[in-house]
Amino acid sequence: MYVCGITPYDATHLGHAATYLTFDLIQRYLRAAGSHVNYVQNITDIDDPLLERAKRDGVNWQDLATSQIELFRSDMVALRVIPPLHYIGAVEAIPLVVKAIELLSAKGSTYLIDKDLYFENNLVSDFGALSHLDKKEMESIFSQRGGDPLLIGKRDSLDCLVWMAQRPGEPGWQSTLGVGRPGWHIECTAIAYEYLSPNSDDDELIDIQGGGSDLIFPHHEMCRTQAQVLTGKELASVYVHAGMLGLDGEKMSKSKGNLVFVSQLIADGVDPMVIKYALMMSHYRQDRMWTHEVLEQAQLEVANLKSALGAKSQAATDSVISEIIQALADDLNTPRALSALQSWSTQCRNGETGGDLSAMRNCLDSLLGLDF
């Protein structure tokens, strides 16, 4: 499973948390079912937006990245997210990126504009099969998400930058492609290619490619196309995209600045398990809003659950555990799982007995990552 990681600034807002919790639920379910999960996540620790933010704030870009990665990691620990097996930064992956670009070039799918190297994605016949957007929409989203559809010299407006020659005042790394740095999409393609057994006999390179739905286009479309040229294979058997979390009617995003930070909520005294519970109250694929009411409802439900777990005896647990497993198997239907937990809490409050407390605690911990 490859999940697109953070660009380390403005971390960790609740939108990030919602997305990584989704993939944590997948990892937990697969592990509980007996699978070994090779979970890889990147960190985009060199890219235009990071450099722009460091410049705006007058700080060193590496210091900004290091401090934000630390914050992200401590937030993930507080939320009891199981870390990926491989957690790879773009900077450390530069040799892999260069190798991948060399392979793309050997297949004739790159070209130069000045000293920058571009990938020609039209060479793959079903380009667009992931996002199903028409070309005008693609061009519009591409320019909003760091692309350059209008750049003169491109063979196609949607071709993407894979190696950017060093700009004055910006960092660059020596390579066979000249001194420069990786483009965004190739970073994830190269890391997935290296860490997720490209030599297996499967028709697809990996099982699950994931991230938020804002990555469907251009990011995952471009990664998929690059992987196809590199390997002749589909990048993933399943593409999983979490819906966007919003605040005050708009997507929570760094560019709009309407962010609620996990670390701020925790500093304000909110229990991380309540944050997690609140994010699981809605379905991961749904675009949804973060509101005070959502947090209050989660506080109430967690209190119910804690009092059920703290009671002298508990209502029967077998059927509720089985309902939780079935709910998660049903495309991670967390609202259904939490509603089963609330019914069980009510049964406990009504004095029903016959349950196995440690089985329930194990279920909460292993499948939902909840510990009270």
Tokens of 61: 């870009």
Strand intervals (E) in 106-233:
110-113, 116-119, 160-165, 180-182, 204-212
With the CA atoms of 252, 141, 162 and 194 taken in that order, what torsion angle do they form, in degrees rounded to the nearest 10? Answer: 60
**Radius of gyration for the alpha carbons in the chain, expressed in angstroms and rounded:** 22
Q: Which does 236 bind (CB under 5 to 8 A by kind): Zn ion, ligand 5CA, none?
A: none
Residue type for position 163: W
Least distance (Å) from ligand 5CA to the CB of residue 97? Answer: 13
Partner that binds at residue 252, options ligand 5CA, Zn ion, none, CB closer than 5 to 8 Å by kind: ligand 5CA
Selection from Zn ion, ligand 5CA, none that 369 binds (CB < 5 to 8 A by kind) is none
Q: Are 193 and 98 in contact (CB under 8 A)?
A: no
- Taking the complex as a whole, the smallest distance from the CB of residue 323 to ligand 5CA amounts, in Å, to 27
Q: Which does 251 bind (CB under 5 to 8 A by kind): ligand 5CA, Zn ion, none?
A: ligand 5CA
Residues paired with 234 in a beta bridge: 204
Please state the closest distance from residue 191 (CB atom) to Zn ion, in A. 8
Alpha-carbon distance 186 to 192, whole Å?
10
CB 155 within 8 A of CB 201: no
Task: State the nearest-atom distance from the C-beta of 134 to ligand 5CA, in Å.
Answer: 22
Cβ–Cβ under 8 Å, residues 251 and 145: no
Tell the smallest beta-carbon distance from residue 6 to Zn ion (Å).
10
SS3 assignment, position 197: coil
- Taking the least distance from each CB to ligand 5CA, the nearer of 282 and 314 is 282
Nearer to ligand 5CA, 247 or 315 (CB): 247
- What whole-number distance in Å separates Cα of residue 179 and Cα of residue 231? 27
Residues at the site binding ligand 5CA, with contacts judged by CB under 6 A = 4-7, 15-16, 18-19, 42, 44, 188, 211-212, 214-215, 242, 244-245, 251-253
Q: How far is the CB of 288 from ligand 5CA (least distance, A)?
A: 9
The entry of ligand 5CA, Zn ion, none that residue 182 binds, CB within 5 to 8 Å by partner kind: none
Q: Determine the Cα–Cα distance for residues 182 and 197; give it in Å rounded to an integer.
A: 22
Which residues here bind Zn ion, judged by CB under 5 A? 4, 188
**Residue whose CB is less far from ligand 5CA, 240 or 298:** 240
Q: In terms of CB distance, is 47 or 120 closer to Zn ion?
A: 47
